[in-house]
Amino acid sequence: MTVLDDIIGGVREDLAERRRHVSLEQIRQDALAAPAPLDAFAALGGGLGGEVAVIAEVKRSSPSKGALADIADPAALAASYERGGAAVISVLTEARRFGGSLADLAAVRAAVGLPVLRKDFTVDEYQIWEARAHGADVVLLIVAALGDDDLRSFLDLTHELGMNAIVETHTEGEVRRAVAAEASIIGVNVRNLKTLEIDRRVFAGLAHLVPAGTVVIAESGVRDVDDVAGYAASGANAVLVGEALVRHADPSATITEFTAAGRAAWQAAGVAANS
């Protein structure tokens, strides 16, 4: 059994428990009564290039690193991300491995005016309705965890609800599946979900497979401005950053630095291309 398989097993158990308390019909009603979602695709630059948006993560722990930060007030942390110039706030809601909750998501939604991503392991349409009911504008769809039929139907549901989905990939085959499903936002995660090891070279090897006009996100492995610049030079429109922010004394300033580094790298790449 892989790490991903183990996580998904726990996700399904926890989901079943929530469904016993709140029916699909009730969660649908709650989702449809929620304020209209914000446009994350536009917030991430619409796939146009020239900038690197930062998706800043509220993340307490991870399977690879264990405890990262004791985040007593996720709303305050998210507000600091917004002040630093983050484009989207990502909130981990998986409890067993990441220490997150839907309460964190709701608190962050109430605190910021940016699109909010519910970052979890989506395996059932209930979770998409649930995300919308708690104020999420974006959900994560991991290609490795979904068959093509579910991937397409989940994407269709996000569109029906006015939401966006980040379709996460790890291999060439997964990128091609995401493109075939007509995903408008594709993440390339450089962390191997079987071993949890990071190889930043994976991004450059896969990003060129994504069609123009699609937002491309570099996921995992962002430690500093050099990593952001490297991803930008390989075509990243955005970077998803968790550990480097939650462990930093001034995450707001770090986001500002990362954004500037990404912009400079895009400008340098443009000069090189035109010289």
Q: How many CA atoms lie within 13 A of 254 on its CB side?
A: 24
Q: Which residue in 89, 79, 81 sits closest to 137, CA to CA? A: 89
- Known catalytic membership, residue 164: no
125 part of the active site: no
> Is 194 considered catalytic here?
no
Q: Mark whether 219 is an active-site residue.
A: yes
What letters, b where the CB count within 10 A reaches 16 and e where it falls short, cover 65-96? eeebbebeebbebbbbbbebbbbbbbbbbbbe
Pick the catalytic residue: 220, 234, 237, 252? 220
Catalytic residue among 184, 189, 234, 252: 189
Alpha carbons 21 and 16: distance in angstroms, whole number: 9
Residue 119 annotated to the active site: yes
Q: Write down the catalytic residue from 61, 62, 82, 119.
A: 119
* Closest listed residue to residue 170, CA positions, set 139, 137, 196: 196
Catalytic residue among 94, 130, 174, 219: 219
Annotated catalytic residue: which of 82, 94, 130, 168?
A: 168
- Residue 57 among the catalytic residues: yes
The residues annotated with a catalytic role in the active site are: 57, 59, 119, 168, 189, 219-220
